[in-house]
Amino acid sequence: MNKIKYLVSLIFILLVQNLSGQQFYTKNYTINNGLPDNHISAIFKDSHGYLWIGSKAGITRFDGSEFKTFTSLDGLAGNNVTSITEDKKGNLYIGCFDGGLSKYNGNQFLNLTQNDGLINNRINKLKYLANNQLLLIGTDDGFSVYDGNGIFSYHISLNNVKQRLDIVDFIEISNSVYLLTRSNGLYEFYPEARQLIKVIESNRLNNNSLFASYVTSTNDTLISFGRKGFKLINQSETLFENLGHVECFTNDNKNTIWIGSTTYGDPKDGGIYVLSNKKLIDYTYKLGINSRMVTALFFDDFENILWIGTADNGLFLFFGDTYSYYKANDFGVSNLEIKDIRIDKKDNLWILTNQHLIKRNPNKKTEVISLSLFKTQFNLFKNNELMDKYQYLLDPDGSFEKYELEILSNSYKYPNPYVQKRNNVKEILHPGSLYKPNKYDIILQKKTNEFTSITIDASDNIWLGANTGIFRFNSLTREINYIDLDDNFFTNFIFTPDNKLIASGWNNAIIYENIEKSTLGNDFSHYTHNSPANVTRAKTNKNQVWFLSTDHFLALYENNTFYLFDNPDSTNFQQLNDICFDTMGNIIAGGNEGKVFIMVLINHQLKVKHILSKLNGLSGTNIKWLTCTKDDILYIGTNTGINQINLDDLYSGKNIDAKIIDKSEGFIDYSGFISEIDKEGNSWIGANKELIRIDAANKYKTNNYRFYIKSITVNNEPIKFTQANLLEETPSEPIVLPWYKNSITFNLEIIKFSDPENIRFYYILKNGNQLITKDTKERYISFQNLNPGRYLFSLKTSSGFNENNADVQISFIIKKTFYKNWYAIIGFILLLFFIIWISIRWRTKRIQYQERRRLEVAEKIAELELKALRAQMNPHFIFNAINSIQNYMLSNDVDTALNYLSDFAKLIRITLDNVSKKFVTLEEELNYLKYYLSLEQMRFDKKFEIIINVPNEFDYNQILIPPMIIQPFIENSIKHGFANKIEKGLIRIDFIITTDNSGSDLHCLIEDNGIGRAKSQELRQNQTNKQKSRGTVITKERFALLNQTHPRKGYKIETTDLYNQNNDTCGTRVDITFPI
């Protein structure tokens, strides 16, 4: 045994190594991506956030998504750009080696050349002094200074070419600036005095051949010389050589110094290096940069990313060491087929592959333990103990009693094979039931071929599962022990918080109370005690153990009891792939349906609190692994990358806004299937062929970015603003638009170099109490056919749950159409009322005119009809009168006939006079009645009496009534009322005037004491010669016509039968009403 321990320790010593071969992700931009040339000579980021890239084919502006190149055709002084800088006002200065200086204000170029006072058109380097507001211009033969108005220059006389003022860089110090020359040493320029002097040779920075320089954040000075290397100058000097011709320096936010160099023949020289603890590390391979010609470096401290320019392979973007990738050769093994990973209490990371156990300690040291060591231990057991332990398989007479005796006599040193514990109950097996020689032969053939799983107990011992059983590895003593579990093969095993081992198989789970002391397990059946079957993963949470299996959604072990859970969200079974827990104890699980379930356990029942999927913003359709940090940041590994979700925001009811981590941010391997978090919060992900580390500190943060409203178009036409562009500021005053320009589009500019596609815009358009709130990833926001009104447009952006709280607000007004203004509305209303009034008035007059014409025609027709009716009455009356005269003459009463004829003549005269009159006076009508009644009395031999009562106050000449109206009713009384009447008749005619609100009416009451209408009607029915009375009918028709044509209505006739006390008919009354 001591030899084995010694051998293991020796192998450990041999395999311990520094982790120095990790590979980081970089993104490469070349001509194929939009650069004009693959030779990068300068990199600069302006105050707006744009990246400017100088090359031999012009200068290129990059916003993270689009390259835009400017050349001499666009006004640039030259195409070979060597240096770029910016002044306080945001003007960009571009030094060109073949054309002089260009000043770019965002719209156009202003060029300065030798004709404008520049010492030389071949510019090497530019430097802007913000305090002095001076631009320093270093050329290959002289030095110029530009103050915004003019240029003053410096030059020295040449004894030889090497003595010329070939300026390659500047170092700004307190009151002066050092000028580095390629072959003439160091010069010093004093801006206030405008004085240039040569620095003494003893200066620590001086050298005949200088090239590049840099002052770090800790005030260390780096300066390269010749083609040998560079010096680090602080309180001491350190020389670094054999890395090629150093062209550039920079340092990042972790004070790491980066050095770029080029090679001149030696393939080992050149590339990109890191200076850490005064040690130079070649990072060219680590960053995947396939170039040894690094010519420009720029660290963006806003997004914390490193830009690397090369002379032959374009531009590289390094996102930092947030994502580190460890491959097989980084651990000194040939294959990194990861099975599982675990982290112990000392924060050691244990990586299990099919052939190795790898330990990585917090100091980044790695140790590799080969499977061969475990094979040796198994073979020792196989050779020395296997036959003794499994002799019961060859013993047909075996029994509990037999082996108890052997145990007592120390002949058998293992637990009694005929004792088993099932479901907390010990069972004694039947004698001979374990006799299985074939199984014995199979056990003898077993070989340890690969590791299958790993777990760690409460004492930090590492337990490894293999195809032949389990091994215990003591990380302190390096001791390996093989523990045989009676040939049981388990798919998974885990230690409970109280250090019990639960080993699960295809249909059962066995609990070992103390695996190091006894291998007698308590076998729990899946079918009777809900133990998990076919477990794929198990994790502990406080005093609980949770299992994922292929047969059930979830399983739980707690307080010596197993619980099985089906999918609480659906009747469909979902295969879960991983499980984790937040700080509140919520259970978080996800699987191959692309859903993440956040659940809580209540009374041993799972209740779903949240379900995350692509329906609410989750990226990916297969959840492969899950981890949750102590800050409740949930990491969800899927087939399309990592989703990062702030659970605090989710639980507080905010919208889910997952940050997607994918290739655009440097996470390039989506094959991970298991993860762990160390004490520093770093995430470790086991993938198919590599190990991935996500730095928790994330010092290269990539969530910072800038965004602007690039332009505003209205009805597809851009709006021109007084300021230079919208990048400077948004309009302070509302944009006023006419009513017909009501479609507005905001074109947005995002400047982000890491994951620019993951930016979301959240905007609100407010118009009074109306709100439009939406989010989008599009680079424009458009509103069509807006109604007139005052609008406020507010815009925010978000990259995952890292929200940019800076609002961009623009107000604009869409004027109402002129006819919608209040004064126009009032004018239109008044005009409408006027038109309506005119129309009504015209229509009324038209109707009145038409009515007047109609009435005139109707009146004429009525008049003609009245005349015709009166004409009908005259022959009727004449016939009756002549008939009476004839009767008198036949009876030889000549005197009476003459009197009758005289009155008849007068009556005819009056009748003829009244025929053409519409109205006659009451006096004329009474005079007419007088003659008529006189004739009727003579005719009927004074068979009736007449009483006419007219009030004395009546003005007979002022009251007008239609002529010949009363006479027909008197005639009816005489003819029909007194027919067959023996007694003398009486006709009483009374005139009465009544007055009401509508005016005055004249009532003519004609009352007789005749036989009544009913009796008269009866007598007429019995007559053979039935003559219809036309007088009253004609009078009623006349009244109907008068009511139509006369201004005052109310002509009417009412006839009433009169009765005595015995209810016998005693006469008739007629009430004739005349409006007066």
Phi first, then psi, for residue 419 (nearest 5°) are -115, 125
Q: What is the dihedral of CA 69, 70, 71, 77, to 10 degrees?
A: -150
Question: Domains in the chain, please, with CATH?
Answer: 26-323 (2.130.10.10), 566-670 (2.40.10.500), 706-817 (2.60.40.10), 825-1075 (3.30.565.10)
Q: 302 is written with which tokens? A: 């806003």
Taking only the tens place, the pLDDT of each residue in 901-931 is 888 888 888 887 877 788 889 988 998 898 8
Angle at 256 between CA 251 and CA 257, to 5 degrees: 55
Report which of 859, 876, 911, 878 is spatially closest to residue 1046, judged by C-alpha positions: 859
* Residues in the chain where the model's pLDDT stays below 70: 1-22, 157-163, 569-573, 698-703, 722-729, 799-806, 820, 858-877, 880, 1023-1031
341 vs 539: CA distance, rounded Å: 12
* CB 1002 within 8 Å of CB 1076: yes
The pTM assigned to this predicted structure is 0.68
Q: 1005 is written with which tokens? A: 């009451």
* CB 853 within 8 Å of CB 861: no
Q: 413 is written with which tokens? A: 């040193």
Question: DSSP letters of 34-49?
Answer: T-S-S-EEEEEE-TTS
Q: In a 3-state reduction of DSSP, which class is residue 21?
A: coil
- Give the per-residue pLDDT at 397: 94
Tell me, rounded to whole angstroms, the distance of Cα 983 from its chain centroid.
111
* CB 297 within 8 Å of CB 283: no
Pairing of strands 985-996, 944-949: parallel
DSSP lists the bridge partners of residue 683 as 677, 694
Tell me, rounded to whole angstroms, the distance of Cα 406 from its chain centroid.
77
Tokens 């014995």 locate to 440
List of long-range contacts for 579-583, beta carbons under 8 Å, 24+ apart: 579/537, 579/539, 579/546, 579/548, 579/554, 579/626, 580/539, 580/626, 580/627, 580/628, 580/634, 581/539, 581/541, 581/628, 582/628, 582/632, 582/634, 582/647, 583/628, 583/630, 583/632
- Inter-axis angle of helices 2-15 and 371-384, to 10 degrees? 170
User: Cα–Cα distances in Å, from 708 out to 52, 88, 731, 788, 813?
Assistant: 18, 20, 12, 26, 21
737, exposed or middle or buried, with CB in 10 Å at 0-12, 13-18, 19+? buried
* Helix/strand number for the chain, H first, E second: 13, 76
* CB 750 within 8 Å of CB 797: yes
Query: Which helix (H) or strand (E) is 179 found in, with range?
Result: strand 177-181
Report which of 468, 469, 475 is spatially closest to residue 501, judged by C-alpha positions: 469
188 vs 329: CA distance, rounded Å: 50
DSSP class of 743:
-
Tell me, rounded to whole angstroms, the distance of Cα 511 from its chain centroid.
51
Q: 611 is written with which tokens? A: 């379900």
Q: What percent of the chain has pLDDT over 90?
A: 51
Helices (H), 566-636: none
Query: Which helix (H) or strand (E) is 408 found in, with range?
Result: helix 400-408
Q: How many CB atoms lie within 10 A of CB 699?
A: 14
706 vs 753: CA distance, rounded Å: 10
263 vs 276: CA distance, rounded Å: 22
Among positive and negative, which fits the CA dihedral 26, 32, 38, 40?
Answer: negative
338 vs 652: CA distance, rounded Å: 38
Sorted by sequence, the CB contacts under 8 Å of residue 90 that are 6+ apart come out as 46, 47, 48, 105, 106, 728
User: Cα–Cα distances in Å, from 161 out to 122, 142, 165, 182, 256?
Assistant: 15, 12, 9, 11, 38
Q: 955 is written with which tokens? A: 């003005």
Q: 652 is written with which tokens? A: 């507080």
* CB 560 within 8 Å of CB 607: no
Sorted by sequence, the CB contacts under 8 Å of residue 906 that are 6+ apart come out as 931
Angle at 693 between CA 690 and CA 697, to 5 degrees: 170
Sorted by sequence, the CB contacts under 8 Å of residue 555 that are 6+ apart come out as 530, 531, 532, 535, 546, 547, 548, 549, 562, 563, 564, 565
Tell me, rounded to whole angstroms, the distance of Cα 476 from its chain centroid.
56
Q: What is the dihedral of CA 759, 760, 762, 765, to 10 degrees?
A: 100
- Where residue 457 falls (left for φ over 0; alpha for ψ -120 to 50; beta otherwise) is beta
Beta strand ranges found along 394-504 (DSSP E): 419-422, 425-428, 451-456, 462-466, 469-473, 480-483, 492-495, 501-504
- Give the per-residue pLDDT at 1: 44
